């Protein structure tokens, strides 16, 4: 199962894409990364890594595994959590990055006050580009799910991914295959008897 890391940070990731993306698109991504860093600030992931690593991992999936070169899709991947997890509004994203990026970010943002189940169900109707961003986001979140510090959260997230995300991944052969391998490798999480709820 292929995994994606971004511990080296944006400058190294950017340098690795110099032969894949035009300089103008890399500069557009520079702006999105700076915006995400400014808004996410000192936020970290559950295992303590800087939040930017997650955003870059998701974007690496799109570029390096799927060959995505559409800069709006890539900027949406960098910005996919900025509305859900920070005080940034979708209007701010729209004003800075345009309607298409904001629409993609909107699709992958859980609506305030809505249920998680309703949000995940709504993704069945998501346009293809938004679904790619969501699948790359989830891949980054689950590729090292066994490092999450709370066993109950690991189990619940595994079960949710199998129930709600794998059917979405079926629309894309690469994601279908990756999540199929992931499911087999991490199936022990569903049986984890530890309970820290």
CA-nearest of 116, 196, 107 to 164 is 116
| Cβ count within 10 A of residue 91 | 10
Q: Among the options 25, 49, 64, 85, which is catalytic?
A: 85
Pick the catalytic residue: 64, 70, 84, 164?
Answer: 84
Residue found by looking up tokens 């340098």 in the block: 15
Decide if 74 contacts 59 (C-beta within 8 A).
yes
Go through the domains of the chain in sequence order and give each one's CATH number: 10-191 (1.10.3210.10)
Q: Would you call 85 a catalytic residue per the annotation?
A: yes
pTM above 0.85, yes or no: yes
The dihedral sign for the CA sequence 186, 75, 105, 78: positive
Going residue by residue through the chain (197 aa), what tens digit of pLDDT does each one get? 999 999 999 999 999 999 999 999 999 999 999 999 999 999 999 888 999 999 999 999 999 999 999 999 999 999 999 999 999 999 999 999 999 999 999 999 999 888 999 999 999 999 999 999 999 999 999 999 998 889 999 999 999 999 999 999 999 999 999 999 999 999 998 876 444 44
Coil, strand or helix: which one is 120? helix
């Amino acid at each position: 199962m292929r995994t994606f890391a971004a511990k080296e940070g944006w400058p190294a990731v950017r340098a690795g894409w110099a032969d894949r993306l035009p300089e103008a698109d890399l500069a557009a991504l520079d702006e999105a990364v700076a915006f995400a860093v400014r808004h996410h600030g000192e936020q970290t992931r559950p295992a303590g890594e800087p939040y930017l690593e997650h955003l870059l991992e998701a974007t690496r999936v799109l570029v390096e595994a799927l060959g995505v070169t559409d800069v709006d899709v890539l900027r949406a991947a960098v910005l996919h959590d900025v509305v859900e997890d920070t005080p940034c509004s979708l209007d701010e994203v729209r004003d800075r990055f345009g309607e298409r990026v904001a629409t993609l970010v909107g699709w992958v943002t859980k609506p305030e006050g809505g249920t998680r189940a309703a949000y995940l169900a709504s993704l069945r109707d998501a346009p293809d580009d938004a679904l790619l961003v969501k699948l790359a986001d989830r891949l980054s979140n689950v590729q090292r799910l066994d490092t999450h510090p709370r066993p109950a959260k690991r189990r619940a997230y595994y079960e949710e991914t199998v129930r709600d995300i794998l059917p979405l991944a079926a629309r894309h052969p690469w994601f279908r295959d990756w999540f199929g391998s992931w499911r087999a490798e991490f199936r022990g999480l569903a049986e984890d008897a530890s309970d820290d709820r």
